[in-house]
C-alpha cells in the first residue's frame, strides 16, 4: 500500500491504530510537507489531517499522487476544499460522532458563566465567603431565552438540551426548520435582541467570518452572554473583547478563539469569561470515534469503496 501522511498532534492511541493499517509518515503541520524527500512525497496517496493550520493548494501540489485528505474533526475550514476538488482530491470529515460532547460543553459554559460558577469558586477559595458572607446573586437560567446561531447538527443538540431546561428557544439558520415551538429569526441582530444567551454553532470559514458582529453583540445587551463552540473566526473578537471589557454584555463562555492557542491576552484579564482550550470534542470516547471514522474513510479510499463522510 502507498504511504499515508499523518499531519497533526495525534494521540498515541490514534498513532498506534494508524501504524497498524497504513504506512504513516508523521509531521507536525502542513509546513513540513516541503521538507519531505521527493520519493516519500510521491508515495503518499492519503493524508490523515488533524489541525487548524492552513492546508492549501500549494501544499497539495507537493504531493503528486495525493487522492484524499481525511480530516480529524467536523470543521474543515483549515483545508482548501475548492483547491482539493480542482485537483481531484477527495476530502472527508468526522461529523455527528462529536455532536454530544460539543453540545455538552456549550451548555456547561452557559451555566458556568450564567451562574458565575468560576468566579464564585475563586471567591470562595480566596476566603471571601468566610470573610464577607453570602455570594452575590446571579441570574436564573431555566426558563430564560436562548438563541442558537446556526441550527445544524450541533446547534440542534444544544437547542434540545436547553429546551430540557425549559428555555424559550430562538434560532438563526439559513432557512426556517421544522421546529414547533421554537422561534426562527432570519437576521442575527433580531435573534440577539430577543435573547439573553447567544450560542454560536456555525461552521467556520470565510462565509461566516465575524458573523456575530459588533451590531449583534450590542443587540444582546448588558445581561447577555455569548457562548462559542464553533470557530474563533465566527465572532468579531475585537468587538467581543471591547463589549466584555466595557460591561456592555455580561459575559462569555468560549471554547474557540482566533489564533488559538496563542489567544489574545486581553481574555486572561477578564473576570467575566470562561475560557476553555478548544476541548469541545475532547473526551476519550469521542476522540476514539473520530479517529476510527477518519481511518475508516482512509480504508474506504484505498479499497475503492464509497467514502463514509465525504465533504466534496
Ligand atoms: C477538533 C473541532 O477537530 O471537529 C472540529 O471541528 O474543532 C475539534 O473536534 C479537534 O480538536 C481535533 O483537532
**Which of the following is catalytic: 87, 115, 260, 266?**
260
**How far apart, in whole angstroms, are the C-alpha atoms of residue 69 and residue 60?**
10
Q: Which helix (H) or strand (E) holds 220?
A: helix 214-220
pLDDT at 187 over 70: yes
pLDDT at 202 over 90: yes
Residue 161 backbone phi and psi in degrees, to 5: -65, -45
What pTM was estimated for this model as a whole? 0.96
pLDDT score of 121: 96
Catalytic residue status for 119: no
Average pLDDT over residues 265-294: 97
Catalytic residue status for 260: yes
CA 50 / ligand 1 centre spacing (Å): 8
Residue 290: all three cell numbers together = 473520530
**In the predicted model, what is the mean pLDDT of the chain?**
97
The string of DSSP codes covering 248-299 is SS-EEEES--TTTTS--GGGTT-TTEEE--S-TT-SHHHHHHHHHHHHHHHH
Most ligand 1 atoms within 8 A of CB, residue of 28, 70, 74 to mutate: 74
Tell me the CATH number for domain 99-275.
3.40.50.720
Residue 55: all three cell numbers together = 492546508
Quick: pLDDT tens for 110-128: 999 999 999 999 999 999 9
CA 39 / ligand 1 centre spacing (Å): 31
CB of 50 closer than 6 A to ligand 1? yes
CB of 75 closer than 6 A to ligand 1? yes
> Measured between alpha carbons, how far is residue 191 from residues 132, 174, 251, 299 in Å?
39, 13, 18, 43
CB contact set of 174 (below 8 Å; sequence gap of 6+): none
pLDDT score of 140: 96
**How far apart, in whole angstroms, are the C-alpha atoms of residue 149 and residue 140?**
22
pLDDT at 1 over 80: no
- Name all contacts of 41-45 with Cβ < 8 Å and 24+ positions apart: 43/2, 43/3, 44/2, 44/3, 44/4, 44/5, 45/2, 45/3, 45/4, 45/301, 45/302
CB of 98 closer than 6 A to ligand 1? yes
> Measured between alpha carbons, how far is residue 310 from residues 12, 21, 57, 292 in Å?
26, 21, 19, 15
Average pLDDT over residues 276-294: 97
Q: Which residue has the cell 497498524?
A: 20
| pLDDT confidence band for 255 (50 / 70 / 90) | very high
CB of 74 closer than 6 A to ligand 1? yes
**Which of the following is catalytic: 52, 278, 287, 295?**
278
pLDDT score of 21: 86
Average pLDDT over residues 248-270: 97
**How far apart, in whole angstroms, are the C-alpha atoms of residue 50 and residue 8?**
5
CB of 281 closer than 6 A to ligand 1? yes
Domain with CATH 3.40.50.720 in the chain: 3-97+284-303, 99-275
**How far apart, in whole angstroms, are the C-alpha atoms of residue 162 and residue 113?**
15
Partners of 168 in beta bridges? 145
CA 246 / ligand 1 centre spacing (Å): 31
Quick: pLDDT tens for 216-251: 999 999 999 999 999 999 999 999 999 999 999 999
Q: Which atom of ligand 1 is nearest to the CA of 256?
A: 7
Q: Which atom of ligand 1 is nearest to the CA of 51?
A: 13
**Which of the following is catalytic: 231, 237, 287, 295?**
231
Residue 90: all three cell numbers together = 477527495
pLDDT score of 279: 98
The string of DSSP codes covering 120-187 is HHHHHHTTHHHHH-SPPP----TT-EEEEE--SHHHHHHHHHHHHTT-EEEEE-SS--S-TT-EEESS
CB of 251 closer than 6 A to ligand 1? no
CB of 148 closer than 6 A to ligand 1? no
Per the CB < 8 A criterion, the answer to whether 69 and 84 are in contact is yes
Most ligand 1 atoms within 8 A of CB, residue of 50, 278, 283, 311 to mutate: 278
CA 131 / ligand 1 centre spacing (Å): 43
CB of 72 closer than 6 A to ligand 1? yes
Quick: pLDDT tens for 46-55: 999 999 999 9
Q: Does domain 3-97+284-303 have CATH number 3.30.450.20?
A: no
Give me the torsion for CA of 163, 168, 172, 174, rounded to 10°. 60
What 8-state DSSP symbol labels residue 306? P
Amino acid at each position: 500500500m502507498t504511504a499515508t501522511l499523518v499531519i497533526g498532534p495525534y494521540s498515541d492511541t490514534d498513532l498506534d491504530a494508524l501504524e497498524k493499517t497504513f504506512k504513516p509518515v508523521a509531521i507536525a503541520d502542513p509546513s513540513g510537507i516541503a521538507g519531505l524527500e521527493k520519493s516519500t512525497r510521491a508515495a503518499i496517496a492519503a493524508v490523515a489531517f488533524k489541525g487548524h493550520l492552513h492546508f492549501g493548494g500549494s501544499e497539495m501540489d507537493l504531493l503528486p499522487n495525493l487522492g484524499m485528505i481525511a480530516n480529524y474533526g467536523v470543521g474543515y475550514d483549515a483545508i482548501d476544499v475548492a483547491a482539493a476538488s480542482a485537483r481531484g482530491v477527495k476530502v472527508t470529515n468526522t461529523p455527528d460522532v462529536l455532536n454530544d460532547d460539543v453540545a455538552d460543553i456549550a451548555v456547561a459554559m452557559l451555566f458556568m458563566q450564567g451562574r458565575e460558577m468560576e468566579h464564585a469558586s475563586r471567591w470562595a477559595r480566596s476566603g471571601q465567603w468566610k470573610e464577607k458572607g453570602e455570594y452575590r446573586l446571579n441570574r436564573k437560567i431555566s426558563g430564560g431565552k436562548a438563541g442558537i446561531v446556526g441550527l445544524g447538527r450541533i446547534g440542534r443538540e444544544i437547542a434540545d438540551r436547553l429546551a430540557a431546561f425549559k428555555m424559550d428557544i430562538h434560532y438563526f439558520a439559513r432557512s426556517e426548520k421544522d421546529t414547533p415551538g421554537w422561534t426562527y429569526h432570519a437576521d442575527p441582530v433580531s435573534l440577539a435582541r430577543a435573547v439573553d444567551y447567544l450560542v454560536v454553532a456555525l461552521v467556520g470559514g470565510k462565509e461566516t467570518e465575524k458573523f456575530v458582529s459588533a451590531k449583534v453583540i450590542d443587540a444582546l445587551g448588558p445581561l447577555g452572554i455569548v457562548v462559542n463552540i464553533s470557530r474563533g473566526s465566527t465572532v468579531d473578537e475585537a468587538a467581543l473583547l471591547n463589549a466584555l471589557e466595557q460591561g456592555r454584555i455580561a459575559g462569555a463562555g468560549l471554547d474557540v478563539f482566533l489564533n488559538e492557542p496563542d489567544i489574545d491576552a486581553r481574555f486572561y484579564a477578564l473576570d467575566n469569561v470562561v475560557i476553555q482550550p478548544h476541548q469541545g470534542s475532547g473526551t476519550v470516547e469521542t476522540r476514539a470515534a473520530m479517529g476510527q471514522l477518519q481511518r475508516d474513510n482512509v480504508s474506504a479510499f484505498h479499497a475503492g469503496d464509497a467514502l463514509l463522510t465525504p465533504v466534496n
